[in-house]
Amino acid sequence: MGKVPALRIAGGVPKRIACLLGAGFSYPAGVPLARDLFRQSWVLALSERSKKRFAAVLEHYAAWQDAHPQEHAEKYMALLFTGKAGTNPPRWEWVVEYIGAVIASAHTPSASLNRNPRYSNRVNRPLFCDVHRHFWDALIGVSNDISVITTNYDILVERLLRHRPMQRPKSPGCFYGGLARPQILTGAPQPFSRWAPDRTIEMTGSIPVFKLHGSLNWAISGKSILAYQDMRAAFRHGGEAAIIPPVPEKSVPVWLQEIWKEAETALSSAEVWIVCGYSLPDYDTHVRQLLQSAGGTRSLPVLLLSPEAEDLVKKWEALLPLCKPIPFPGLPEGTNSLAGWLEW
């Protein structure tokens, strides 16, 4: 894709763009949608004990789904997280480990020298996904002020934007919004390889990535987040990754609150919202409150990339009456139309 002309406002300042990414964004890279997390037929289990834990999770979910056929997987996760998922529920850590295995299985490269999903999926290892590369090229070409807000647990955004500025392909890199800097990730990469020539991985990019529900490469250390350069946290001690399901505001833990606060600031200052693969579900009440607080009192273009974009227009108009939702096809078809709108 050629260089895209800069989109500017009065005074020649590039537009500020906030991207809200949901599970539909990760889907083209092979990560299952949220509704399918407990339908995965094959995952990388690292031991017989983990297989038994996975079986217990799936058995309990199947029974819950039979009793609640109209409900969704994330509702089950929220009930489990808050201790309201019925009798004999599996431990939340087991679900964390299972979800980590599902997502790691989806994009552990077959050619990897290390098939262990703890370590083969690393922040510093680039992800080659043309669908996502085209998407980011469209945005980076028109603005140097981009923020990413995501409800996803995976590390695809980091691997695509890269942990530091890069020239091939060109990217300003990213860092974790809401976490203290410098951000030196725990765990030694594979040194002296073409993927990881450095022994230390530091997030030195300029695009903040706000992970509202945590990340599979994060763990809790006291009241703060310890970020790893790989996904070992999802598998340690039966699953200790710092993730939460969609929950009401009062249930958001202390270690996530600064991330939510800074994400609201980024959304409030943005002049354009790009929403990709996020369906604005009614049960995600805290995210809906965040969006209302950041955009409820101003006229704001909201570009919706989704196969259901036409249907989502009404939901956004109901949530933000002053916003201007504009539907686009989902990935990959919608990227060219998005790029054309941004170039205009």
Residue with tokens 């999770």: 57
Q: What is the pLDDT of residue 10?
A: 41
Alpha-carbon dihedral 20, 24, 29, 30, rounded to 10 degrees = 150
17-31+126-229+244-343: CATH class:
alpha beta
Q: Which of 232, 210, 208 is nearest to 219 (CA)?
A: 232
Which residues in the chain are classed under CATH 3.40.50.1220? 17-31+126-229+244-343
Computed over every residue of the chain, the mean pLDDT equals 86
Whole-number Å distance between alpha carbons of 107 and 168: 22
Q: For residue 177, is pLDDT > 70? A: yes
Band (pLDDT 50/70/90 cuts) for residue 41 is low
Q: For residue 105, is pLDDT > 90? A: no
Whole-number Å distance between alpha carbons of 277 and 289: 19
Band (pLDDT 50/70/90 cuts) for residue 104 is confident
Taking residues 187-203, report their average pLDDT.
64
- At 51-101, the pLDDT tens digits run 899 999 999 999 999 999 988 899 999 999 988 888 899 999 999 999 988
Stated pTM of the model: 0.90
Q: Which of 133, 128, 290, 268 is nearest to 213 (CA)?
A: 290
- At 142-152, the pLDDT tens digits run 888 999 999 99
Taking residues 113-124, report their average pLDDT.
69
Band (pLDDT 50/70/90 cuts) for residue 110 is low
Q: What is the pLDDT of residue 115?
A: 56
Band (pLDDT 50/70/90 cuts) for residue 195 is low
Taking residues 267-294, report their average pLDDT.
94
Burial state string for 235-256 with b = 16 or more CB within 10 A and e = fewer than 16:
bbeebbbbbbbbbeeeebeebb
Q: For residue 136, is pLDDT > 90? A: yes
Q: For residue 120, is pLDDT > 90? A: no
Strands 174-176 and 17-21: unpaired
Strands 214-215 and 201-203: unpaired
- Burial classification of residue 187, based on how many CB atoms lie within 10 Å of its CB (0-12 exposed, 13-18 middle, 19 or more buried): middle
